[in-house]
């Protein structure tokens, strides 16, 4: 199946009113007409309103970086799925490795957050990935399968509506990147796990999230089960992000040619 490529930028805790406007202005100006891949930016919560306005009428979708597993109430500092929906958020990251590491989020927490997003009509980008110690211990497949299994178990038939992002923790912000072959191996494991859970697994995009940049994007995106990227630092630089989008659009076109879709 020729799945649409998705390039999602994760701004993390970066940005300002002025910087956001400059970045998105440059992205809008540089995006090719009729780009073959989908594009999104996941922004810090205080900037949702600003970015909603800045991307209006453009191909860039709005995303958030986290969502509460609660609907509302006495949860100071949290943001509900309904609140994100009010700002037109189409995507939300759940289970990012930094949330798991620094905020102690469990697999069950991540599954509950994905459930709340789906119920609100927002697509969760479910992040899974192993640490360096887990990879060196040969536990990569066990870890990512366990993390995804929790989300599958909690969301049942809705699982075909998610996006998965494989982010090897050892390759985030370190300058290290999994080889295309290493990344593809894990993506294939996740694809098989999804296929066992839903007959619609082929339509679930699996993104690579381990320091994808302008230099390595094309080679990664050429792999059969890598359907896009969850891009960190490079998403804050308009030219780099546009180059990654161009690589994804080219890969999309190549995939369409191979599958006979024009």
Is the distance from CB of 63 to CB of 40 less than 8 angstroms?
Answer: yes
| Other Cβ atoms within 10 Å of 255 Cβ, number | 20
Does the annotation count 167 as an active-site position?
Answer: yes
- In Å, how far are 101, 228, 253 from 137, measured between CA atoms? 19, 28, 38
Q: Where are the strands (E) in 140-200, listed by range? A: 163-166
Alpha-carbon gap, residue 205 to 160, rounded angstroms: 9
Alpha-carbon gap, residue 55 to 101, rounded angstroms: 31
> Looking at 96, 105, 130, 161, which residue is catalytic?
96
> Looking at 98, 105, 161, 167, which residue is catalytic?
167
Alpha-carbon gap, residue 108 to 32, rounded angstroms: 40
Which helix H or strand E contains 85, and what residues bound it?
helix 81-86
Q: 103's torsion region: left (phi>0), alpha (psi -120 to 50) or beta? A: alpha
217 phi, psi to nearest 5 deg: -60, -45
Is the distance from CB of 218 to CB of 250 less than 8 angstroms?
Answer: yes
- In Å, how far are 34, 149, 169, 195 from 128, measured between CA atoms? 31, 10, 9, 17
Does the annotation count 96 as an active-site position?
Answer: yes
User: Which positions are catalytic?
Assistant: 96, 167
């Amino acid at each position: 199946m020729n799945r649409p490529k998705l390039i999602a930028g994760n701004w993390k805790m970066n940005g300002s009113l002025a910087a956001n406007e400059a970045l998105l202005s440059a992205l809008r100006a540089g995006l090719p007409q009729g780009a073959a891949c989908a594009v999104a930016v996941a922004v810090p919560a205080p900037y949702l309103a600003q970015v909603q306005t800045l991307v209006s009428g453009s191909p860039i979708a709005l995303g958030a970086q986290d969502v509460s597993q609660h609907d509302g109430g006495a949860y100071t500092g949290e943001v509900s799925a309904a609140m994100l929906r009010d700002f037109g958020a189409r995507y939300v990251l759940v289970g990012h490795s930094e949330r798991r590491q620094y905020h102690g989020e469990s697999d069950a927490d991540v599954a509950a957050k994905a459930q709340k997003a789906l119920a609100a009509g927002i697509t969760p980008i479910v992040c899974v990935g192993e640490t360096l110690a887990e990879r060196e211990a040969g536990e990569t497949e066990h870890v990512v399968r366990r993390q995804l299994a929790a989300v599958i178990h909690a969301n049942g038939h809705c699982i075909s509506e998610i996006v998965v992002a494989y982010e090897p923790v050892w390759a985030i912000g370190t300058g290290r990147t999994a080889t295309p072959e290493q990344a593809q191996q894990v993506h294939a494991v996740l694809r098989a796990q999804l296929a066992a859970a839903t007959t619609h697994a082929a339509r679930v995009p699996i993104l690579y999230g381990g320091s994808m940049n302008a230099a390595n994007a094309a080679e990664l995106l050429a792999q059969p089960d890598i359907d896009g990227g969850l891009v960190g630092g490079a998403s804050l630089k308009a030219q780099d992000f546009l180059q990654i989008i161009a690589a994804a659009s080219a890969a999309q076109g190549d995939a369409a040619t191979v599958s006979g879709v024009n």
